Chain A
Amino acid sequence: MSAYEDDDLLRGFLAEAGEHLANIEADLLAIEDAGADIDEELVNKVFRAAHSIKGGSSFLGLNKIKELAHKAETVLDMVRSRRMTPNPEITNVLLAAFDKLRDMLNNAAESENADIWEHVASLNQLAASYLPEEQKDSLSRMTLLKPGKESSPIGVSEVDLERARRTGQFVYAVEYDLIHDIERKGKNVLEVFAGLYESGEILDCATDFEAVGSLDDPICSKVPLRLVFATILDPDLIGTLFEVDDNRIKLLIDPNVPEQRQVETVPLQTGQAPVIESPSDQEAILETQVETLEPQQVEAYTGPAQPALASPRNGREQIAAKNKAAASRGESTLRVDVELLESLMNLAGELVLSRNQLREAVAQKDHRALADSSQRINLVTSELQDAIMQTRMQPIGNVFGKFPRVVRDIAHAMNKEINLDIRGKDVELDKSLIEGLSDPLTHMVRNAADHGIEPQETRVRAGKKQAGTIRLEARHEAGLVVVEIADDGKGLDPQKIAASALKRGLITQDKLQGMSDKDKISLVFLPGLSTVEEVTELSGRGVGMDVVKTNLDRLGGKIEIESEPGAGTVFRIKLPLTLAIIPSLVLTAQEERFAIPQINVVELLRIRAEQVKKRIEVVGDAEVLRLRDEIVPLVRFADFLGVVSTYRDPGAGKREICRRRNLADRRSPRHPITDDAIHHVAGQGDANTRQDRRCKDGRRVSSDSDIEIVVLTTGIMKYGLVVDSFQNTEEIVVKPLGRHLKGLQEYAGATIMGDGKVALILDVSGLATRADLRPLSGSARAMELMEEAEKERLQDTLSLLLFHNAPEEVFAMPLDSVLRIEKISAPQIETVGGRRTMQYRGASLPLVTLSDAAKVKQIEDGSDLAVIVSNVQGREVGLLGVMPVDVVESRSAVDQRTHRQKGIAGSTIIRDKTVLLTDIYELVETVYPDWGVVQATRAASEKDARVTLLLAEDSDFFRAQVKRFLEEDGYTVLAAPDGEAAWELLVKDVDEIQAVITDIEMPRLSGLGLTQRIRSDPRTATMPVLGLTSLAGDEDIAKGKAAGITDYQIKLDRDRLLDGLRNLLNN
């Protein structure tokens, strides 16, 4: 390999050949257009290209290139001599041949291993078809029947393959035998083939005539065929159709891979592969090849021993790997404007001068001169940077150049008329961007031509011009380069896309409701949506759009879609001018620095230690971050590094290695990182183990330290990356990773920091893939999460005032019923007539204690007393308690049985302790029965006796409390745990029920929903509805009123509730 590459002669030849091939497509198309009216000069030009490539390659011993060039030359000669009239078929064959030549030239060292028989065969056939009959026969037979070692090669027309790929079909090569696989299995060949026509299309079939033998041989025992079969059946299913071993079916084309011409890099026959006897040998050899060959060759080796079919996903990765390999080889020379080169020279001179100055200044220790030269170097460096960047700039026309042909081919195949309007060819972009743009652009242009532009009849019927137009435009805009691919076709239908996404489970109905049409169209970028063939039919777009997006992401580009049904679609790509220098955020993790391109950074978060538990949760098998109303998956960066985990000892303040980790686990060969991550998350599903998590699992951030999170976006999804700390933002120079690190998809490159140390640049999407993250929003798991969050939100929180009675007994009282808390000393309490009071605000405040009613301990003498003032039956009452008091929010369930007694409503668990809930009303009634707390209200509501109320409340505690208040007050209460259940009760007993009391936040049907339903049903439209809620905002109240709620109360004030209810019923 290197013997060639070191060779100046070879380089010269390759450069020259490249020039010859540069415009060949346009020329060939022009030749075709001219038809019989040949432009001799043009034909000569193309002929010369083939001729000189043939000459040069022959000289250099590149025989395969020579052979193909020679064949192309033969055909061109026939065109030149007018023995052949240019037509699309000829152009296609020639274009394909020149494409292949270009590929081979790009990889001259490997060209001898290239597979060109297909092109040679087509060219031969072409030449033969214009030759007299006998010669033709021999020519075509010679090429088509040329047997491989074990089987004959198969030709498939490129048009067929293109069609298969466009329609989302897989293409397989199947080794089949009519006798063994059909007759001996009791099947009939006609039926079998009829079955094949139904499930797909036979693109080609090579029957091995030699294997059949002649009449002299014993009756034939085998009729081997090699079928090329296009079908929508995926690799998992194809085996059931043919009922042959998997190793006899090979995947040639995977429609999910938007590669334009996979088949050229996936030759059908074993080519140079050694002849192998036994299957085990074959596998052994295959393995060694895998190790020693580039991905490209590995893939090319599709010998019979290939043990399993590449799954679609694998296929895609392989193609991606191949693309990378190809890109890295890419162009090794670059043409630079002489003027630019001269300015570079000047700047180099400047730099030398500045360096001399600097040395001088350092030697003299002259600070002023030092400052001067520093400034100068600064200036020269940035100028130099600009100039060098310019050398990398190339016109985008280099990519656009190939589209006339792409569009023409498709238009031709689909019988459409399409004009391609190319603008802004001269816009320059960084070389690497130009290379990276090629595939995504091709894909989108193809899509536009294939699916975007309607068939002629449809266009005419819709009153459009018969010829469709695709516009390809590049322009500068706000420091970015904008590339647009626009068509005037049928446009994208957001509803259909949304429906498909929904069907595929990629998004939820809820999510869809809030989406604009534009958002819906953007769903085509969701992975998974695009791979389904029915989506292709429905939306017209979509095959591989997620791959397009991924590619663009890699380039730091953004893509947006504008589409109007019936009028067309515009894909707009925005790209940075260069990739070589990018603004980045520098951060540290495990004492290493890393850079993240700013374009991917959404926000930086610090979660304080005490918030960690609240903000970060473990759901299913993953950690997630609550980010405002979103739930974002979290990736602990340390998990990815495979470094020895350290933690900062909170006591000593220094880093220590956590020795609990088994290093061997971590370095396991396959997926050390993901396996590890899953393992570790699964190992700590219980959030309560957080306290000891640090020691149990070293990568855990200590529970008493803050957590730094950078929220990143891949454009499709957001995720949080937990890092150690942030440093600063910096413009970094991107250096490619060494070959040995190329396989690491989580890194995009490396850079050298100001202090000379290397920092790796993170690839945000690569990292997400590596962490096996999927876009959360819309996925089923996200749904779960959202539901969980929603449920939690709906679950009423109970604000409780905690206080003590005896030191070890903790009591609680709903905060809503507390007016004030006063601290008093024992002497302030007066005991008169067996009843305690205290002087309070110029009046006497009756006091009660829990031990007055409930069987609890007495308050000890000398305790720090507190008086909890609340309002009972219009009078203020003080409850004596003992400090300290505290307020907590509790979501724990209230147990209304175990500890129920007079004065105690029930119990709940707070901070692992049982807390008794005080019922102040009962307490007061016990101490002051003459107040008639219960009777008074009962009497007051006597006239409403046996009034039936409907209560809808999801919290068991509140429901029971309210029900009790109401029943004590003489009402009959029907209670329901949600709006839906309430509605059912209401409908059933509509004549009985006189008013509805409803909570607002409830599952299934909310209070607002219930009210709306009540109002819109004639049977219940006038029913009074009292809203009872902890949502107290004006907005909430307005919403409630709008929904038709008659009165609105904040829960839970018993007296106000009863008053409000009486008002409601009396009016």
Chain B
Amino acid sequence: MPSVHIEKDGNHALIELRQSLTAGFAGELKPQIQQLLAEGISHMAIDLSGVDLVDSSGIGLLIATHNSLRRAGGGLRVIGTSSDIQHLFKAMRLDRHFAVEGKSSDGSRS
């Protein structure tokens, strides 16, 4: 199973990750996101349902993605976060910048 699954829909894309979002994988993922951006996709949702570990570089990538999408007039959503990751992102107040939605809908917040 590939570690990334991407569905595109107009200028929207859903990116499903199936591997821990750590430094190595982030380096792999970055060009793919850049590619999407180059295709004119400015709204992305990154699904972390299959991810239970992120590291600093991973977070850096999410922020960089957010920044780039903002510049392109779009935005980022992070969905399907495990409760640990959700907790971390909220503690870091990342949810002030982009939407962070948990696996279950009750944890979501726009």
- In the complex formed, the residue of B with least CB distance to A154 is B93
Considering the complex of A and B, which 5 residue pairs feature the smallest CB-CB distances, nearest first? A220-B60, A178-B56, A183-B56, A214-B68, A215-B68
Across-interface contacts of A189 in B (CB, < 8 A): 54-56, 59, 88
A225 interface residue, CB < 8 Å from B?
A: yes
With A183-B23, A189-B88: A209-B66 Cβ-Cβ less than 8 Å: yes
* Residue A266, interface by CB 8 Å: no
Q: Confirm or deny: A223 has a beta carbon within 8 angstroms of a beta carbon on chain B.
A: yes
As a 0/1 sequence over residues 198 to 215 of chain A, the CB contacts with chain B under 8 angstroms (1 = contact) are: 000010111101101111
Alpha-carbon gap, A217 to B87, bound state (A): 28
Which of chain B's residues 46-79 have a Cβ closer than 8 Å to chain A?
Answer: 53-57, 59-61, 63-68, 71
B14 at the interface (CB under 8 A from A): no
Residues 186-206 (chain A) with a chain B CB within 8 angstroms: 188-190, 193-194, 196-197, 202, 204-206
Max count, chain A CB within 10 A of own CB: residue among B23, B63, B85? B63
Indicate if the CB atoms of B54 and A220 lie closer than 8 Å.
Answer: no
Decide yes or no whether B26 CB sits under 8 A from chain A: yes
Q: Verify B54–A190 contact, CB threshold 8 A.
A: yes
How far is it, in angstroms, between the C-alpha of A179 and the C-alpha of B60 when the chains are bound?
A: 8
**Chain B: residues with CB nearer than 8 A to chain A?**
23, 26-27, 30, 33-34, 37, 53-57, 59-61, 63-68, 71, 84-85, 87-88, 91-94, 96-97
Contact A212 B57 (CB under 8 A): no
What's the minimum C-beta distance from A702 to chain B, rounded to whole angstroms?
A: 70
Q: Is A7 an interface residue (CB 8 A)?
A: no
Is A363 an interface residue, CB under 8 A from the partner?
no
- Judge whether A144 is part of the interface by a CB distance below 8 angstroms: yes
Known: A212-B63, A215-B37. Contact between A205 and B30, CB under 8 A? no
Asked if A219 CB lies within 8 Å of chain B CBs, one says yes
Q: List, sorted by A's number, 30 A–B pairs whose CB atoms are closer than 8 Å.
A: A178-B56, A178-B59, A179-B56, A179-B60, A182-B56, A183-B23, A183-B57, A189-B56, A189-B59, A193-B92, A197-B87, A197-B91, A204-B93, A206-B93, A207-B63, A207-B97, A209-B63, A209-B67, A209-B97, A212-B67, A213-B64, A214-B64, A214-B67, A214-B68, A215-B34, A215-B67, A216-B68, A219-B26, A219-B60, A220-B64
B89 to chain A, nearest CB (A): 10
Complex partner residue of A190 from B23, B53, B68, CB under 8 angstroms: B53
Complex contacts, A144 vs chain B, CB 8 Å: 96
A514 to chain B, nearest CB (A): 52
Contacts of A214 in B (CB 8 A): 64, 67-68, 71
Q: Which residue of A lies closest to B67 (CB)?
A: A214
Q: How many CB-defined contacts (below 8 Å) exist between A and B? A: 87
By the criterion CB–CB under 8 Å, are B57 and A220 in contact? yes
Q: Which chain A positions have C-beta within 8 A of B27?
A: 219
Q: Complex: how many Å from CA A546 to CA B87?
A: 40
Determine whether the beta carbon of B65 is less than 8 Å from that of A220: no
A223 and B56 within 8 A (CB): yes
Q: How far is the CA of A966 from the CA of B57 in the complex (A)?
A: 91
Contact assessment for B53 and A188 in the assembled complex, using a CB-CB cutoff below 8 Å = yes
A206 to B67, CA, bound (A): 15
- The answer for the CA separation of A132 and B66 in the assembled complex, in Å, is 23
Contact A202-B84, Cβ < 8 Å, known A183-B55, A212-B63, A220-B63 = no
* Cα A223 to Cα B64 with chains together (Å): 10
Contact B91 A212 (CB under 8 A): no
Instruction: Decide if the interface of chain B is mainly helix, strand, loop or mixed.
Output: helix
**Taking beta carbons and an 8 Å cutoff, which residues of A are in contact with B?**
144, 178-179, 182-183, 188-190, 193-194, 196-197, 202, 204-207, 209-210, 212-217, 219-220, 222-223, 225
Contact A205 B59 (CB under 8 A): no
Instruction: Name B93's contact: one of A183, A205, A215 (CB within 8 Å).
Output: A205
Partner of B92, one of A179, A188, A207: A207
A213-B60 Cα distance, complex, nearest whole Å: 9
> Which chain A residues border B34 with CB–CB below 8 Å?
215-216
Complex CA–CA separation, A219 to B27 (angstroms): 7
Give the complex CA separation of A205 and B59 in angstroms.
Answer: 14
Give A189 to B59 CA distance when docked, in angstroms: 9
Q: A182-B55, A209-B66, A220-B60 are in contact. List 16 more A-B contacts (CB 8 A).
A: A182-B56, A183-B56, A189-B55, A190-B84, A193-B87, A202-B91, A204-B93, A212-B60, A212-B64, A215-B30, A215-B64, A219-B26, A219-B57, A220-B61, A222-B60, A223-B56
Q: Give min CB distance, A830 to chain B, whole Å.
A: 109
Complex Cα distance, B23 from A183, in Å, reads: 9
Most central of A193, A210, A212, A222 by chain B CB within 10 Å: A212
A213 contacts across to B, CB distance below 8 A: 64, 67
Query: Which residues does chain A contribute within 8 Å of B55, judged by CB atoms?
Result: 182-183, 188-190
Distance from A58 Cβ to chain B, minimum over Cβ atoms (Å): 32
Q: By the criterion CB–CB under 8 Å, are A205 and B56 in contact?
A: no
Give the distance in Å from the alpha carbon of A519 to the alpha carbon of B53 in the complex.
Answer: 57
Minimum distance in angstroms from B58 CB to a CB of chain A? 8
Indicate if the CB atoms of A223 and B33 lie closer than 8 Å.
no
A223-B59 contact in complex given A213-B64, A214-B68, A215-B68, C-beta closer than 8 Å: yes
B92 to chain A, nearest CB (A): 5
Assuming the A-B contacts A179-B56, A189-B56, are A205 and B63 also in contact, with contact meaning beta carbons closer than 8 angstroms in the complex? no
**Which residues of chain B have C-beta atoms less than 8 A from A212's C-beta?**
60, 63-64, 67
A188–B52 Cα distance when bound, in Å, is 12
Given contacts A215-B30, A223-B60, contact A193 B67 (CB under 8 A): no
Give the residues in chain B near A210, CB-CB below 8 Å.
67
With both chains docked as a complex, state the minimum distance between the C-beta of B11 and any C-beta of chain A, in angstroms: 16
Query: A796–B61 Cα gap in the complex (Å)?
Result: 83
Q: Which residue of B lies closest to A207 (CB)?
A: B92
Q: In the complex, what distance in Å separates the CA atom of A552 from the CA atom of B94?
A: 47
Chain A residues with Cβ below 8 Å from B56 are: 178-179, 182-183, 189, 223
B13 to chain A, nearest CB (A): 14
Q: Which residues of B contact A215 (CB under 8 A)?
A: 30, 33-34, 37, 64-65, 67-68
Q: Chain A residues with Cβ under 8 A from B66's Cβ?
A: 209
Whole-angstrom CA separation of A302 from B23 in the bound complex: 34
Residue of B nearest to A133 (CB): B110
- Could you say which residues of chain B place their CB within 8 Å of the CB of A222? 60
Q: Is the CB of B57 within 8 A of A179?
A: yes
Question: Which residues from A are CB-within-8-Å of B33?
Answer: 215
